[in-house]
Structure 1
Amino acid sequence: MGERAVVVGGGIGGLAAAIGLHRTGWEVTVLERADVLDDAGAGISLAANGIRALDALGVGPAVRAAGRGQYTGGTRTPRGSRLSRMDGAALERALGTPVVGIPRADLHRILRSALPASCLALGTEVTSVEDLEADLVVAADGLRSRIRAALFPGHPGPAYSGSTVLRAITAEPVSLDSDFELTWGAGEEFGHIAFADGRAEWHAVLGSPPGVRHRDPLAVLHRRFADWHRTVRYLLDATRPEDVLHHDIHELAEPLPSFVAGRVALLGDAAHAMPPHLGQGACQALEDAVTLAAELAAGPDRAAALARYDAARRPRTGAVARAARRAGRMGPQLTHPLARAARDTALRLAPSGATVRAILRHADWTPPSLVPRGYSDRSSTAGDSTQSAT
């Protein structure tokens, strides 16, 4: 088994992979092309599978402490009437943890704190894996992965989903009556995540041609959502214009033929970028990270371990990506009035357990053990001895 790994990309998936490999005895270097880690981003919801993966990496308790459980909320119409309710307590009973909302910046800092500072090399751009001296290369370089493009030159790469997203975190704490909420209009979605410090993240997903940008995006949103319910307008009012982020949503609509090529393993968005409609993108990257480290720890050799990683992750992530695509088409992307009316009626009539069962379908995942055969845990420097979720 090789002992030196290079992780290309210092995002959630790359840092998680580095933690898993470090905890199982690898010498790890994370190469991040950014010169400064500004922790840009808004917020994230982590379902039980993501939290369980973080538990396996030893950082779950820190994430729970920094985050806020999502117990209340659901889906509304633009006028504010309720379509469905989220039962976070039922999810916690079923899975042992609620969904957790946390600023991405906080999650990034927690992940980095679980690694020796010497692991992270900033301002390092990787253009070819041939230049990397390592027994294992983890390609966690995101949606527009250069490593993926080099390994699979015939793959079409990212495809525009038809939607763009604007998001921000409020400048100050806000008073909300729910932990997490979505509002669906005609091809539009507005949602929020409440954080432990009282602030909230909001996002607006809009149908749009790619590349459209606005001089004052917050003013555009104020006009677009002027007749939506009070919470939407309240969150926009609580936001500074300079804090609004705007990104087009792309996905890997055509699956890769493999997540592995020689000594290279692809992970996260580099392997399976998916639409955001199930909130599973980061959770799947975390699953990737734990599975990769566990398979390599189990041996007997790197090639066999990488083959098992590929066999485990491609079917799982492919199914979740397809489900996310369907969720978007049948949910916030609907524009026809009759189709929207039918959707809204179905949501209102659905039994209370239906939403819980839908979430369980993707969130009920148990991580493999990270302890290799004959290996005595040397992860005490990570600050937590948790090895796996139960």
Structure 2
Amino acid sequence: MPGRHAVVVGAGIGGLTAAVALHRRGWHVTVCESAAEPSVTGAGIGLAPNALRALHTVGVDVTRVTGGAVPAAMGVRRSDGRWLTRIRTADLTARYGMPPIAVPRPSLAAALAAALPTAALRYGTAVTAVDDAEGRPVLRTRAGPDLPAEMVVAADGIHSPLRRAYFPAHPGPRYLGETAWRALVGAPDLGIEAMSETWGRGERFGVTPLSDGRFYLYATAVVPAGTRSADPRAELRRRFGSWHEPIPALLDRVDRLAPADVLRHDLYELAAPLPRLHHGRIAWLGDAAHAMAPNLGQGGCQAVEDAVVLAHLLPAGDRGDGSDGVPAALAAYTAARLDRTDAVRVRARRVGRLGALGHPLAVAARDLAVRATPNRLALRGLDDLFDGFRLPDRPVG
């Protein structure tokens, strides 16, 4: 195959975005995904203006394939329903040029996959090792022949085997002290117009209208790692059934789902930043590089930013300039992304600690502080997230 060849390990949102961005830079791309087929279950993913802007730079208009409906407002509530803070979506649009949206994760993944040549996607292909990462990498897989490449994108998730192989001294993921439930439901009759997260004592419940008219529900609770119940629907009802409307009405919809349609995962983040986001000709992105708590809705957004910046910095795939340029591009990628992603990771953890407070006095002080913060200051606090995406200069030579 003529031109430069990149192998992307992992077909999540970050990996697929990287594949699309590289494909549009002229690279021949192969995506290796260990799962046998694309996931059709899952939950929603929030796309803030920074991620939408990044996707737009590589020609992906999310609203064309997933719908463009947005909530009228978003904010934080108490378990009795009182709003602690509420910001109009129109104010976010005026400040950032576009509103944040939330989309079904499977729909976004399908749209990204559709932008690639069919032969680029190899499901049921687990990468077991990458040999000679300093020179011309060769990927070993369980499914078939070895894959030579000029560079590798490690988008293989929070428990990234490639990260463990090349950064063996890194402490890896650590448990954040909370577990999370997620589900998608239809509830057009409830007239829910706002995106909200309700904070209780060591528990939270989020209601996010999706661009296709459904609702993405998520909940968290402070519990020991590995805690499980026989029926997640019953546990959600026990924990949140007495909270304000529309939570009980939404739990009625959850009760109609199969137990397997309510996803439950313990929450982890990387315990420390990686020393760099590349090694030889391998670049890490998304959860493999900087897994973070979901409290800012920026995990997927930062993966999208990673992917677009990485492809932008790499040389064009047609070899038209006659140079290599890959090592310099990967060093520039680390320089462009390491500090930003780690700052978001740390901030997400701190916000999560506020939401997870359980002592009544601490909860009362938290709620009072949130209520006392003017919306203009709350909006200003989002600037570095929502307005922080930039394409860096490409390395010279």
Return the TM-score normalized by structure 2. 0.89
Query: What's the secondary structure of 2:225's corresponding residue?
Result: coil
Q: Deviations over 1:51-108 (max 9, x none)?
A: 0111012112545752432431311100001100022111111111100111111111
Contact 2:277 2:338 in 1 (8 A): yes
Structure 2: segments with no counterpart, 5+ residues: 132-137, 140-147, 317-322
1:305 aligns to 2:363 (yes or no): no
CA distance in 2 between partners of 1:352 and 1:62 (Å): 27
Code of the residue aligned with 1:33 in structure 2: it is S
Contact 2:315 2:325 in 1 (8 A): no
Moved more, 121-130 or 296-305: 296-305
Q: 1:260 to 1:372 in 2, by over 3 A?
A: closer
CA distance in 1 between partners of 2:362 and 2:356 (Å): 11
Q: 1:307 to 1:44 in 2, by over 3 A?
A: same
- 1:371, CA displacement in angstroms? 10
- 1:172, CA displacement in angstroms? 5.1
**Equivalent residue runs for 1:208-287 within 5 Å:** 208-239=223-254, 240-242=257-259, 243-287=261-305
Query: What's the secondary structure of 2:204's corresponding residue?
Result: strand
Q: 1:98 to 1:38 in 2, by over 3 A?
A: same
Give 2:93's aligned residue: 92
Q: Deviations over 1:147-202 (max 9, x none)?
A: 00101111121111111001101155452333311000011110011123332110
CA distance in 1 between partners of 2:72 and 2:381 (Å): 16
1:6 aligns to 2:7 (yes or no): yes
Indicate which of 198, 210, 213 corresponds to 2:213. Answer: 198
Code of the residue aligned with 1:228 in structure 2: it is W
Q: Deviations over 1:94-137 (max 9, x none)?
A: 11110011111111111111111111001000110124210000
Q: 1:12 to 1:126 in 2, by over 3 A?
A: same
CA distance in 2 between partners of 1:156 and 1:19 (Å): 31
Code of the residue aligned with 2:349 in structure 1: it is R
Q: Deviations over 1:316-354 (max 9, x none)?
A: 001000111111112x11112112111111221211212
Code of the residue aligned with 2:205 in structure 1: it is F
1:358 aligns to 2:376 (yes or no): no
Query: What's the secondary structure of 1:6's corresponding residue?
Result: strand
Code of the residue aligned with 1:281 in structure 2: it is G
CA distance in 1 between partners of 2:64 and 2:278 (Å): 30
Give 1:380's aligned residue: none
1:333 aligns to 2:348 (yes or no): no
| Total equivalences in the alignment | 372
Give 1:15's aligned residue: 16
Return the TM-score normalized by structure 1. 0.91
Q: 1:64 to 1:355 in 2, by over 3 A?
A: farther
Indicate which of 155, 158, 161 corresponds to 2:170. Answer: 155
- 1:2, CA displacement in angstroms? 7.1
Q: 1:215 to 1:370 in 2, by over 3 A?
A: farther
CA distance in 2 between partners of 1:20 and 1:5 (Å): 11
Give 1:110's aligned residue: 111
Kindly report the root-mean-square deviation, in angstroms, between the aligned alpha carbons of the 2 structures: 2.1
Contact 1:140 1:266 in 2 (8 A): yes
**Equivalent residue runs for 1:111-126 within 5 Å:** 111-126=112-127
Contact 1:169 1:200 in 2 (8 A): yes
CA distance in 2 between partners of 1:296 and 1:29 (Å): 16
Q: Deviations over 1:271-302 (max 9, x none)?
A: 00000111100000000001100111378711
Moved more, 318-327 or 195-204: 195-204
**Equivalent residue runs for 1:127-142 within 5 Å:** 127-130=128-131, 131-132=138-139, 133-142=148-157
Give 1:47's aligned residue: 48
CA distance in 2 between partners of 1:350 and 1:64 (Å): 37
Q: 1:69 to 1:111 in 2, by over 3 A?
A: same
Give 1:167's aligned residue: 182
CA distance in 1 between partners of 2:121 and 2:194 (Å): 34
Contact 1:70 1:98 in 2 (8 A): no
Contact 1:64 1:100 in 2 (8 A): no
Give 2:319's aligned residue: none
Give 1:73's aligned residue: 74
CA distance in 2 between partners of 1:226 and 1:159 (Å): 30
Q: Deviations over 1:2-54 (max 9, x none)?
A: 71100000000000000111101110000000111123311111111110111
1:318 aligns to 2:333 (yes or no): no
Q: Deviations over 1:233-255 (max 9, x none)?
A: 11111121432111111110211
Moved more, 336-345 or 170-179: 170-179
CA distance in 2 between partners of 1:308 and 1:2 (Å): 22
